[in-house]
Structure 1
Amino acid sequence: MTGRELLALTAVGKTYGSVRALQDVSLTLREGEISCVLGDNGAGKSTLIKIIAGLHQHDEGSYTIAGEEVRLGSPRQALDRGIATVYQDLAVVPLMPVWRNFFLGSERGRFRLDTAAMRATTREALLRMGIDLHDVDQPIGTLSGGQRQCVAIARAVHFGAKVLILDEPTAALGVKQSGVVLKYVTAARDAGLGVVLITHNPHHAYLVGDHFTLLKRGRMAGSHPRAEIGLEQLTTEMAGGSDLAELSHELARTDPKERPPQ
């Protein structure tokens, strides 16, 4: 069962010069919920992430966090309000050990770091998420893509995120690693976070999602709670089902003699 509302975007729009990147997009996220945003390249997913994460400000509509209308001026402001974003490239330092990457940007103490405590905290935080990583001293670059995603998720949970935005976390992963990452996505939801999962893969979205928002050319192409849509319909809508059906219908009505030469 989902809890209180964490954030809401209502009829949000964004324009870059003469390019309308988003128009009339709405999304609501609650505690203990995974809201999946689906769309192909150019659908507006990246722009939506940047607005939620404080990188860009919306031009139209409203954005509220815990019921308060906001216009975030930076990712730090979003983070201070409990919104953590894990991008596809993860922004890790490959040669640094796992524990250093876990605390990157959140170190305490100006001149001296309690490295033993930081190592122990990293191990404990990973174990709480069910991630059994034997050596937190190994360079994070030696981990698989799926393991690095899981470390990033555990890090966000540990440092008090209320909202976790995941940008295509399974895009570059194989089947097994994708399954592992999705397992920890649900663990974040079970820990009470609200998760916005950005993806172009309806199969991955349907495995974990509670709500699905479809974007197409910067506009909403559908919004469905899980109980009201199946995987087949979700896949069809994402593939532009209505457009495909209309094209198929038109082709079927056209007499072959009247079709233009190939």
Structure 2
Amino acid sequence: MTATAAPVLALSGVSKRFGAVQALTDVDLEIRPGEVTALVGDNGAGKSTLIKTIAGVHPIDSGTISWKGEVVRIAKPHDAQELGIATVYQDLALCDNLDVVANLFLGRELRRRSVLDQVQMERQALELLDTLSIRIPSVRIPVASLSGGQRQVVAIARALVGSPEVVILDEPTAALGVEQTAQVLDLVERLRERGLGVVLISHNIADVRAVADEVAVLRLGRNNGLFRVEDTSGEEIIAAITGAADNAVSRRRARKDGGEGNE
């Protein structure tokens, strides 16, 4: 997919208040199919609130959310799921005592004559994991016995059982080692290859630059920059996150734009 593809999900002028706290103010965001959009910002920038408005946890106060060009109302998580939006939160919400198959189909169990169809669920689980190139010892071992990276990819795979078109990943590489992080980032790229729109929330700029197409920066609940990764340095992204307008990159750009010599 190219950057000119029409957004599958678009937020325009979205605001959200909690009592006296204005969490989001006139935020815009567009998610396109086959692209990874990273959502970055300091703690308290509004990232969690924004994804929860998309996921239906916190209905917006003002602004619009559009799905494939049509304005929609997302008032509860079921509304988001019905549209085709899946969210994988940082806590993963996996059931440690259940095996991988049971976790993948939790709440979406397949039945045959009112009895759980274990054979069909296992078959579909194996197909899904194989399609995503996810390697785990067995789909019949308890999730508690998996590594952190394996647990993360199982949680992402579970989100795909409902065939969503947009997947939101909340800090998927937090607290993971180098190899486990690589496994998760590989999976993010495979989601893009499947034509999904991916929203990646992360504090790790290296991870963001490795897999994202665009980076949307939030600062104090407002948009503070939208960058194409291929045209942007990590320093520019960090400057937008921190609000540091005066830095080496901005000074070099100003000199080039103004035709100035060295100071």
1:111 aligned to 2:107? no
* Counterparts of residues 49-68 of structure 1 (less than 5 Å): 49-68=51-70
Conservation of the 8 A alpha-carbon contact between 1:23 and 1:218? yes
Rounded Cα–Cα distance in structure 1 between residues aligned with 2:48 and 2:246: 23
Instruction: Verify the 8 A CA contact 1:82 1:163 in the aligned structure 2.
Output: yes
Report the alpha carbon displacement of residue 244 of structure 1 after superposing the two structures with TM. 7.4
Larger CA deviation: 236-245 vs 28-37: 236-245
What is the TM-score with the length of structure 1 in the denominator?
A: 0.89
Distance 1:217 1:4 in 2: 28
1:254 — aligned with what? Answer: none
Cα separation, 2, equivalents of 1:171 and 1:23: 27
**Using the alignment, how far apart are the partners of 1:74 and 1:56 within structure 2?**
8
Task: Please report how far the alpha carbon of residue 146 of structure 1 lies from its aligned counterpart in structure 2 after TM superposition.
Answer: 1.1
Change (3 A) 1:60 1:228: farther
The percent identity for this pair of structures is 47
Deviation at 1:119, TM superposition (A): 1.2
Q: Which residue of 2 aligns with 1:253?
A: none
Match of 1:200 in 2: 203
Matched, 1:78 2:80: yes
2:175 corresponds to 1:172? yes
SS of structure 2 residue aligned to 1:178: helix
Q: Which letter maps to 2:110?
A: R
Q: Which runs of 5+ in 1 are unaligned?
A: 246-262
Instruction: Give the letter for the 1:7 counterpart.
Output: L
Q: Deviations over 1:192-238 (max 9, x none)?
A: 10000111111111111111111111111211122331223223332
Question: Contact 2:103/2:158 (CA < 8 Å) preserved in 1?
Answer: no
Q: 1:23 aligns with which of 22, 25, 46?
A: 25
Pick the aligned partner of 1:213 from 201, 211, 216: 216
> Contact between 2:64 and 2:71, CA under 8 Å: does it hold in 1?
yes
In structure 2, the partner of 1:250 is none
Measure, in 2, the Cα distance between the counterparts of 1:239 and 1:142. 39
Are the aligned partners of 1:126 and 1:132 in contact in 2 as well (CA < 8 Å)? yes
1:123 to 123, 126, 129: 126
CA contact (8 A) 1:153 1:188 kept: no
The Cα RMSD (Å) is: 1.6
TM-score by structure 2 length? Answer: 0.88
Cα displacement string for residues 87-108 of structure 1 (whole angstroms, at most 9, x for unaligned residues): 0001110010011001001113
Q: What amino acid does structure 2 have at the position aligned with 1:54?
A: G
Paired AA for residue 199 in structure 2: V
Q: Which segment is superposed worse, 160-169 or 69-78?
A: 69-78
Give me the whole-angstrom Cα distance separating, in 2, the residues matched to 1:48 and 1:153.
20
